[in-house]
Amino acid sequence: MGHAYENDIESAGLYLLGLLKAETAVRYSRFYDGTDETQEDLIRGMGFDPEGEAYVPDCPEVFMDVAVGQLEEGGVVRTEQLPELLADETNDYRIELTDEGREFLERGDRFVFRSVDL
């Protein structure tokens, strides 16, 4: 199906962690609602220029979803499914820092993201 490289996943994950440091919780729909505008915001948040000629990731929302999964597996965040549906008819979900995640950010630790087959 495809492959997600750690550097793209890390770009999404670092963007998410920066938001969570300021806001504690966000909804996945902030990154994916089926609109070009939201996708471009995510691309910018990941540190890419959607208008530029350099590499821009396809489907950045997939990298965010994978990053959330890895951060959750690592105990840094927890997710809660919401009743609202996303553009692809799956449920939206809330992403929240755990106590361990708050401590992780306060210590300035670096999370190690890994490549995955999709």
Structural domain that includes position 69: 3-110
Does a structural domain hold residue 117?
no
Q: Which residue has the tokens 């770009």?
A: 11
Number of domains in the chain: 1
Does a structural domain hold residue 70?
yes
Q: What is the pLDDT of residue 1?
A: 60
Q: What is the pLDDT of residue 54?
A: 72
Does 56 score more than 80 pLDDT? no
Quick one: what percent of the chain has pLDDT higher than 70? 98
Q: What is the pTM of this model?
A: 0.93
DSSP string, 3-28: EE-HHHHHHHHHHHHHHHHHHSEEEG
pLDDT tens digits along 67-98: 999 999 999 999 999 999 999 999 999 999 99
Does a structural domain hold residue 118?
no
Does a structural domain hold residue 89?
yes
Does a structural domain hold residue 15?
yes
